[in-house]
Amino acid sequence: MNTNSKSGKLAGASILSAVAASLCCITPVLALISGASGVASTFSWLEPFRPYLIGITVLVLGFAWYQKLKPRTTKEIQCACEEEDKPPFMQTKKFLGIVTVFTFLMMAFPYYGQIFYPKADKQLIVVSSDNMQEVKFNVSGMTCASCEDHVKNEVNKLPGIVTVSANSNEGIAFVKFDNNKTNKEAIIKAINTTGYKISGEVPTSLNSPHGQAGHVCGPNGCK
């Protein structure tokens, strides 16, 4: 049936646009799974177009449902009698329902993509106040929570990392570390291997109390 055929093609188009809308956030997860960290930022250029792609997806999907649910004309009913009683699966409401769920999961990916990243299980360490150092970088290419987690995951692989955070909205990464075990150059290299690039360093001041032998530090900071 012609209407069914149209709805099937529209369903395919909605999948493509939904995937395109979320590629900037899906790619970091795929990079983590495959071990190809450098490709994480490949589709970050799509982020400015994300609202438009989402709009196209919703419109296409809505029109597909309209085509599927609208009342048939007398001519269409007569034509249907001449065709097979059971349409192909890809032209059914069930298939369109599956496509609808899939597309909305794709569009919502940036909000739950971070669950695919391993949680850092960092042990408490004692860091002398003389060795404690912090650095903040401007990082280009980060567009969502998945990008932030990709950066944090790579930096946490280095020894001596006390805390690391990233903010895609501000385009910064903040790292506190033991400079006896690692250094800024190693951190820069780790971030750059993700595909997101450091474009500069932001001045910081480490306000650590003096007169203490050291601080106990872990994932939640130092005491």
pLDDT of residue 207: 44
Closest CA to 200 of 212, 210, 191: 191
Q: Please, are residues 42 and 195 in contact by the beta-carbon 8 Å criterion? A: yes
Helix, strand, coil percentages for the chain (3-state, nearest 5): 50, 15, 30
Looking at per-residue confidence, does 94 or 128 come out higher?
A: 94
The sheet with strand 125-127 has its strands ordered as 125-127, 215-218, 221-222
Q: Give the C-alpha separation, 60 to 69, whole Å.
A: 14
- Mean residue pLDDT of the chain comes to 79
List, for residues 204-219, the tens digit of each pLDDT value: 765 444 334 444 455 4
> Mean pLDDT over residues 160-175, rounded?
93
Confidence band for 145, pLDDT divided at 50, 70 and 90 = confident
List, for residues 72-100, the tens digit of each pLDDT value: 666 655 555 545 557 778 778 888 899 99
